[in-house]
Amino acid sequence: MSTMAGSTFTRLKGKKAIRSFARKLNDEGGIRELNITPMMDLMTIILVFLLKNFSSSTQLITQDTNLQVPPSVTKLQAREAVPVTITKRMIIIEGETVAPVNNGKVDASLKPDGENGYLIQPIVGILSRIANKERRVAEMTGDTFDSELMVVADRTISYRLLTEVLYSCGQAGYSNYRLVVLKNSE
């Protein structure tokens, strides 16, 4: 037996007190069962919101010796879109290297039509996968799929390489694009 605040408790009295307290909670309308349906609805809404925000998050452009963006005096504001970066050494889509660039050209083995072809197969594959994901998110949120790209290209790449990349992007369902330039200060 132990003494607590001047009164003596036995084990039996302690158990009775706990049971009495538990009965009192149940009688006062304590939680008897948890209705999970509203909680699942809330989590679904949060998930759709996060997917929408994740799919259109901004991309930082880091300049290095292989990527020097051309200057411009544009007044347009940048909008969020799928980033396609063309450097002197590689083509990158959403941070993933898609194809190497050697001497301003993509390897002919990556083009189904050979060296003179415009279609670069890895670009079409990755962008088709991204487009499908964005279409599903747009359907879930009730938005429209705008199929817009943000093209960041080195200022020294050839026009031929740029048109090959844009043609391949168009074949994957991306018909709209914006060329990113470095804004000159006035």
Report the C-alpha gap between 111 and 163 in whole angstroms: 14
Residue 77, domain extent: 60-183
Sign of the Cα torsion 97, 150, 147, 168 reads negative
0.75 exceeded by pTM: no
Same domain, 92 and 138: yes
Residue 48 counted as domain residue = yes
Query: How many domains does the chain divide into?
Result: 2
Check if the beta carbon of residue 67 is closer than 8 Å to that of residue 135.
no
Mind listing the pLDDT tens digit for each residue in 57-80?
Answer: 445 555 566 666 666 566 656 667
Looking at 55, 73, 92, the residue that finishes a domain is 55
Q: Which amino acid is at 133?
A: K
Per-residue pLDDT, 6: 46
Mind listing the pLDDT tens digit for each residue in 84-130?
Answer: 888 889 999 988 899 999 988 898 899 988 888 899 999 999 999 98
Residue 2 counted as domain residue = no
Average of per-residue pLDDT across 21-37: 70
Same domain, 64 and 50: no
Same domain, 50 and 114: no
Residue 3 counted as domain residue = no
**Strand order, beta sheet including 90-93:** 105-106, 96-102, 90-93, 82-86, 148-153, 176-179
Per-residue pLDDT, 2: 47
Q: For tokens 């279409």, what's the residue?
A: 135
Average of per-residue pLDDT across 22-37: 69
Average of per-residue pLDDT across 137-160: 85
Same domain, 46 and 67: no
Burial 109-147 (b: 16+ CB within 10 A, else e): ebbeeeeebeebbbbbebbeebbeebeebeeeeeeeeeb
